[in-house]
Copies of this chain bind each other. A is one copy, B any other.
Amino acid sequence: MSPWTSAVGTPQLARLLGSSGGRPAAAPAVPGARRVPAYRSLADGVRLLVLEGRVPVAARLPAERELATALGVSRTTVAAAYEALRAEGFLESRRGAGSWTAVPAGSPLPTRGLHPLPPEAAGSVIDLGCAALPAPEPWLTRAMRGALEELAPYARTHGDYPAGLPVLRQALADRYTARGVPTRPEQIMVTTGAMGAVAAICRLLVRPGERVAVDSPSYANVLQLMREAGARLVPVAMADGLAGWDIPAWQQALRAAAPRMAYVIADYHNPTGALADEEQRRRLAGAARAAGSVLVADETMAELSLDGPVGPDVPRSPDVPRSADGPGSADGADGTGYAARPRPVAAFDPGGSTVITLGSASKAFWAGLRIGWVRAAPDVIRSLVAARAYADLGSPVVDQVAVAWLLRGGGWEEAVALRRAQARENRDALVAAVRRHLPSWEFAVPSGGLTLWARTGGLSGSRIAEAGERLGVRVPSGPRFGVDGAYEGFVRLPFTVAGAVAEEAAVRLAAAADLVASGAGAEAEGPRTYVA
C-alpha cells in the first residue's frame, strides 16, 4: 500500500452505489433501455462514482465477497465487475494488497469538489462545471490601480492581518449597516474567499461526528468540506426539491437533531436559485435559536438579484401572519436592489448570537480575488481569529485593499450591476436553449444567483455528466449537491455562457441525454471532440 492510498468502506460503497444506479437490484428502469447485465451495471456504478470524485482515486475497494454480501448479489457478479473495471483502467489490483480505484492513463483526475477547467486546458469543451464569470472590467483594473496607490502604508508592515485590514472591515460593516443590519468592524473577519470562511467556522464548531443540518440540495463544495471535517450531515429537503424552504421540516430537524450548526443559502440558493422570504428567515432563525444551533447564512450569491429591484416572486407561506415589522424591507431605497429584497437573515437574530453570515467577492465581483468575510458577534469573531493562525495566516493584502477601494465609492455598485447584466443575459440564453433542445427537463427559472437546477427527465444526472464529458460539455451531476447520493435525477447548469455557446451547450447536453436514454452508455462510444 502506498501512503497515498485511502479506503472506502463496504456500507459506504453500497450506499453510494444504491444512489448512483450501480446497485444491480436498484437499476433504474429507463424506457427503451437495453437490458444491462448485473456485473455491467455494478461496474458502471463504480466508474461513475470514480469519475465524479465521489469515490477518490487510489481508494481500496472492499473484497469481492464482502461487497457481494452487502449488495445481495453473487460473488461472480462482483468479480466480473472488478474484472471489467480493471480492463477499462478504473481499477488496479495486486495479489495480497487488494484492489484500488484508478483512472485510465491520460485521463484527467476527477476532482472531489467543483472546479472549472483551467482556461488553458478547456480547449473546445464548454465548461459548465463552475458558476464563475470573467472579471467585470474595467473595474478590476481600476480597483488594482486604486489599491496600488494605497499600498505604501501596508508595505511597511509585516502584512499579516488575521482579522483583515481595518479599512476593509469598516467598509464591509458599513455595507451591512446600510442593508439594515447595524454592524461594527469588530463584527467582521476577512477570510480567503467564502470557503475560507466556511473552513474557519468548521474548525471552531465541527468536531468529528458533529451534526450539521443543511439544505438538500446545497452547495457541493461546502458539503464536501463539512464531510471532510467529519460532520454528520442532516439533510433538510427543499420544498419539492425546487422552489423554496420547507420551514416545518427545518423546525422539526432542528428540534430533533439539535445540531451544533445549520447551514443555509437563503439568498439565491445554490443550486436551486431560490430566495427565502422574510417570514421564512424569521422562523429559521427562531428555530435555530430554540435548538441552541448556530445558523450559518451563506450570502455569497446575495448581490446577484437578476430580476430588477422588486425582487423575485417567491410566495410567502400563506399560513403565517405578517409580522409587526410590516413590509419591512420595501420602504428603503438605495438604488442597489437591496431595498426591495428581504432583509439579511442576520436581521432576524435580535440577540446577535445565533446567526453567522458569510459573504464573498467571488461571485459578485471576481473569483480571482480571494476575498470573503464573516459577520458575527464580536466574541465569535475573536474566536474565529484566534483559531485561524495555523490554517491560513491572513488574506491577500492587495486584494483586500482593492475590495475596500471598490466599496468606498470606487465602483462596487457599477461592477455588480455589470455582473448582474452578464448573469441575466446568460440565464435567459441558457433557459431558452435548454427549453428548445431538452423539452423534458424541468426547472424553476431563478430570479437571482448563478445556477439552474434541472430535473433531467428521469435520466441519471451522473450518466449525463459522463456522456457530456465525452461530447464536449462538462456539467456536475445532482448527487454532488446532495447527501448520500440524493438528486441522481438532476444536473446543475451555471449562468456562464450566452448566445451561440449556450445553444451549443444545450445541443451537446441533448446528445448526451439521448445517449443515456438509448442505454448506449459509456461503452458504446469512443471519445469525440467538438470545435465550439
Which chain A residues have a beta carbon within 8 Å of chain B's beta carbons? 2-4, 6, 53, 56-58, 109-116, 118-120, 130, 132-135, 137, 140-141, 144-145, 147-148, 151-152, 154-163, 166, 192-193, 195-196, 199, 203-205, 207-208, 220-222, 224-225, 228, 230, 260-261, 292-294, 362, 366-370, 380, 382-383, 385-399, 402, 496
> Which residues of chain B are within 8 angstroms of A137 by Cβ–Cβ distance?
152, 155
> Which residues of chain B are within 8 angstroms of A370 by Cβ–Cβ distance?
192, 370, 393-396
Cβ A390 vs Cβ B132 within 8 A:
no
> From residue A372, how far is it (CB to closest CB) to chain B in Å?
10
Q: Which of B6, B151, B196 contacts A144 (CB 8 A)?
A: B151
Cβ A393 vs Cβ B293 within 8 A:
no
When chains A and B are docked, how far (Å) is the Cα of A175 from the Cα of B98? 40
Cβ A134 vs Cβ B113 within 8 A:
no
> Which residues of chain B are within 8 angstroms of A368 by Cβ–Cβ distance?
154-155, 157-160, 394, 396-398
> Which residues of chain B are within 8 angstroms of A397 by Cβ–Cβ distance?
368-369
> From residue A273, how far is it (CB to closest CB) to chain B in Å?
19
With both beta carbons as reference points, the residue of chain B lying nearest to A203 in the complex is identified as: B228
> From residue A451, how far is it (CB to closest CB) to chain B in Å?
14
> Which residues of chain B are within 8 angstroms of A154 by Cβ–Cβ distance?
135, 368
With both beta carbons as reference points, the residue of chain B lying nearest to A260 in the complex is identified as: B3
> Which residues of chain B are within 8 angstroms of A135 by Cβ–Cβ distance?
154-156, 159
> From residue A99, how far is it (CB to closest CB) to chain B in Å?
18
> From residue A207, how far is it (CB to closest CB) to chain B in Å?
8
When chains A and B are docked, how far (Å) is the Cα of A207 from the Cα of B228? 10
Q: Which of B118, B141, B156, B395 contacts A134 (CB 8 A)?
A: B156
> Which residues of chain B are within 8 angstroms of A367 by Cβ–Cβ distance?
158-160, 393-394
> From residue A343, how far is it (CB to closest CB) to chain B in Å?
24
Cβ A134 vs Cβ B157 within 8 A:
yes
> From residue A386, how far is it (CB to closest CB) to chain B in Å?
5
